[in-house]
Structure 1
Amino acid sequence: MLRRRMLIMLGIVVIVVLALGGYKAFSIYKQIQQFTAPKPPINITVAIVEERAWQSRLPAIGSLKALQGVNLSLEVAGTVKALQFESGQKVKLGQPLLQLDSDVEKALLGTAEADLGLAQVDYARGSKLVGDSAISRGEFDKLAASQKKAAATVAQLNASLAKKRILAPFSGTIGIRQVDVGDYLASGTVIATLQDLSSLYADFFVPEHVLPKLAIGQQVQVSVAAYPERIFKARISAINPKVEDATRNVQVRATLPNPEGKLLPGMFANLQVMLGQDTRELVLPESSITYTLYGNSVYVVVPKNGADGEPEKNDKGEQQLAVERRFVETGERRGGLVIISKGLKAGEQVVTGGQLKLDNGTHVAISADQEVPVEQSNQPRVD
């Protein structure tokens, strides 16, 4: 009886061991099938390497300045009697802007003009008497000096009266008023700013080694943060004849028209100086380049070959694709594009999205709506 029980228990143990062994063998088989089964292709986006016209440009940064711009201030102290402008008003050359109290100077001028009139009468009478030898030459000279002194006093008071008012030194747009009627102003007090916005200067610096590439009249494209969708055209109007000792840079000035008055002095500007003629270059989107310490590389889409070296095809008879990592030399970048100077040929397909999932020889599939040529998107409008 005991032997029978032992045999039954031994049979049960053998059955359990065989079941566990079979389950483990089945699991190993499934894993082997999973790893040996061909992996599905990774979906990628690509761009076609294009050869296109490319004009060399020199990037720079600068600031805008008014063609003419001043802070209107007083030469003499006084109390504001009248303000003849409004903030933001456009004014003409010679237009009165401010008048200080000048009653005292006007009264003194009246006295001086009366003295001048008397001196002129005495001089005219004396010129006749000296001709008749009724007065001496010395007395006549005193009369002439008195007339000149009175005329000088009148001129001096007229000049003082002129300093009691401010006239627009040129046509332009006046800024925000800083004073009010009745204010007592010391000499040198700024009442407002006046800017001629018909044209602007764009001042910027360039390294000294690019100086031979610059010339008067060269075209410059200007863009500002206030109008990112627009590019304004300017031309180089002056090149400083001195290199800055501290930076070894040269100051350059470009002039750009501003008929709409949208650009304002003091704006930060990004500039592109046009250099030379267009050249033919291979270009790619910057997103396709992988930058590393060992060099810049891209993934190029190529036909996938089998172990026998023959191209592989899927069950639909279509050519299967893989990627090949290729190191390239890059050049100037602009507008989201980069020049490829070495490593690629025109017409090749380069991966622009999904590079993190790829390795050399990875099986890939191109998304049907993503195989597009290189384009510069969202380019600003050139005025």
Structure 2
Amino acid sequence: MLRRRMLIMLGIVLLIVLILGGYKAFSIYQQIQMFSAPKPPVSVAATEARELAWQSRLPAVGSLKALQGVDLSLETEGTVKTLLFESGQQVKRGQPLLELDSEVENALLGTAQADLGLAKVDYNRGGQLVGSQAISKGEYDRLTAQYLRNKAVVDQLKASLAKKSIAAPFSGTIGIRQVDVGEYLPSGTVIATLQDLSSLYVDFSVPEQALPKLSLQQQALISVAAFPNETFTAAISALNPKVDDATRNVQIRATLANPDGKLLPGMFANVQVLLPNPRNEVVVPQSAITYTLYGNSVYVAVPKKAENGEQENAADGKPALIAERRFVTTGEHRDGLVVVSKGLKVGEQVVTAGQLKLTQGASIAVSPDKTQKADSNSQPGTD
């Protein structure tokens, strides 16, 4: 009886072991089938490498300066009698702006003019008397000197009186007023700034190696932080004839029109000088480039071929594609595009999104990169 029970228990244990072994074998079989089954293609976005007319640019930074700009000040001291301008006003050349109290100077001028009138009468009378020898030649010379002296005193007082007022030296926009009526001004006090904003200068520096690429009237594109979505066109108007021996840079000046007065002197400017001889280059979106310490690379969508060299097709009947990693030589980049000078041909499809999921030879399903359609007709470098 005991032997029979033991045989039954042994049979049950053996059955359980067989069941567990079969389940484990089935699991291993499923895993083998899963790993051996072909992986579904990785979905990526791609666009074609294009050939564009690419104009190289020389970047620089500079600052804006007014065509004419001064800080208005008086050469003499005095009390402000009249202010003839408002802050931010447009003024014309020669327009009076400020007058100081000049009562003392006017009184002195009246006295000097009276003395000049008397000296002139004596001088004219002496000219008649010396001819008839009624007075000596020495007396006539004294009268002549007195007349000239009084005339010089009148001219001196008129010049001093003119310095009691100030007029606009050129047409432009006057700045914020710094003085008030009744205020005493020491000599040299700045009353306001005057800037001619009709045109502006852009002063910037470039390395001496870039000099052969620059010439007068060459175009440059200007951008400022105040208007990030706008570009202003300038033309090189002067090249400094001396290279700075400390920095080995040469100063360049460009001129740009400012009819709306949007740009102001002192603004920081980003400068892009358009270099001559545009050339056709292969360009791809900047998102297609993978930058590493070992070099820059792109993934290119290429047809998948069977062992016999024939084109394989996907389940939908379209040609099957795989990712091929290529190391490329890149150049200038701007407006979201990068120049590829080596490693890529026009018309090849490059992956622009989903590169992190790819490995060499991975099957891929390509969809157009919709973010590139809006810029497909743009021609960077030809603006």
Decide: shared fold, TM above 0.5.
Answer: yes
Partner of 2:63: 63
Partner of 1:358: 358
SS at 1:344's partner residue? coil
Partner of 2:224: 224
SS at 1:228's partner residue? strand
- Distance change (3 Å), C-alpha of 1:123 and 1:216: same
SS at 2:332's partner residue? strand
SS at 1:347's partner residue? coil
CA contact (8 A) 1:234 1:254 kept: yes
Tell me the distance in 1 between the aligned counterparts of 2:237 and 2:377: 30
Partner of 1:100: 100
- How far 1:327 sits from its partner (Å)? 1.0
Partner of 2:194: 194
Counterpart residue identity of residue 375, structure 1: S
Partner of 2:181: 181
SS at 2:72's partner residue? strand
Q: Map 1:144-223 to 2 at 5 A.
A: 144-223=144-223
- How far 1:375 sits from its partner (Å)? 3.1
CA contact (8 A) 1:48 1:349 kept: yes
SS at 1:65's partner residue? strand
Tell me the distance in 2 between the aligned counterparts of 1:349 and 1:70: 58
The reply on whether 1:325 has 2:325 as its aligned counterpart is yes
Partner of 1:120: 120
The reply on whether 1:342 has 2:342 as its aligned counterpart is yes
Length-normalised TM-score, structure 1 = 0.94
Where do 5+ consecutive residues of structure 1 fail to align? none
Length-normalised TM-score, structure 2 = 0.94
- Distance change (3 Å), C-alpha of 1:372 and 1:70: closer
Where do 5+ consecutive residues of structure 2 fail to align? none
CA contact (8 A) 2:203 2:252 kept: yes
Tell me the distance in 1 between the aligned counterparts of 2:188 and 2:371: 67
CA contact (8 A) 1:234 1:255 kept: yes
Tell me the distance in 2 between the aligned counterparts of 1:287 and 1:62: 30
SS at 2:227's partner residue? coil
Partner of 1:51: 51
- How far 1:368 sits from its partner (Å)? 4.9
Q: Map 1:261-340 to 2 at 5 A.
A: 261-340=261-340
Q: What is the CA deviation profile of residues 238-287 of structure 1, one whole-angstrom value per residue up to 9, with x for unaligned ones?
A: 00000011111111111111111111111111222122222111111111
- How far 1:89 sits from its partner (Å)? 0.5
Query: Percent identical across equivalent pairs?
Result: 67
- How far 1:308 sits from its partner (Å)? 4.2
Tell me the distance in 1 between the aligned counterparts of 2:339 and 2:187: 60
CA contact (8 A) 1:229 1:379 kept: no
- Distance change (3 Å), C-alpha of 1:369 and 1:212: closer
Partner of 2:240: 240
CA contact (8 A) 1:300 1:350 kept: yes
- Distance change (3 Å), C-alpha of 1:183 and 1:378: farther
SS at 2:277's partner residue? strand
RMSD of aligned alpha carbons = 2.1
- How far 1:137 sits from its partner (Å)? 1.3
- How far 1:196 sits from its partner (Å)? 0.5
Q: What is the CA deviation profile of residues 1-31 of structure 1, one whole-angstrom value per residue up to 9, with x for unaligned ones?
A: 3333323332332232223222222221222
SS at 1:229's partner residue? strand
- Distance change (3 Å), C-alpha of 1:241 and 1:369: closer
Q: What is the CA deviation profile of residues 146-196 of structure 1, one whole-angstrom value per residue up to 9, with x for unaligned ones?
A: 111111111111111111111101000011111111111111111111100
The range that moved more, 276-285 or 317-326, is: 276-285
Partner of 2:376: 375
Tell me the distance in 2 between the aligned counterparts of 1:100 and 1:186: 11
